[in-house]
Amino acid sequence: MKVETNKFTPLDQVTNPTTSTNAAAYYLDRKPQTLRAWACLENGPIRPIRINGRLAWPVARIKALLNGGAA
């Protein structure tokens, strides 16, 4: 049985204002492609910031969403 190690910093220790799609998907327990669909269709619970064609997900909104707050 292969055990996957956690390569993401715990969310409460993240100091950057944004995070990558893969990290955001991990924190939200979704697949990265789901977050990409949210960004493309603009219908998800949070929206990313686009920086030079890349998606950056606001850490504060991820925390708010996980704490039951509105995004």
User: Per-block average pLDDT, block size 10, for the chain (71 residues)?
Assistant: 75 96 97 98 96 96 90 52
Give pLDDT, residue 43.
95
Angle at 36 between CA 19 and CA 20, to 5 degrees: 15
Which residues make Cβ contacts (< 8 Å) with residue 62, sequence separation at least 6? 11, 19, 24, 27, 28, 46
Distance CA 25, CA 3 (A): 19
* Contact assessment for residue 58 and residue 46, using Cβ atoms and an 8 Å cutoff: yes
pTM across the whole model: 0.86
Picking from 12, 9, 13, 39, the residue whose alpha carbon sits closest to that of residue 30 is 39
Give pLDDT, residue 13.
96
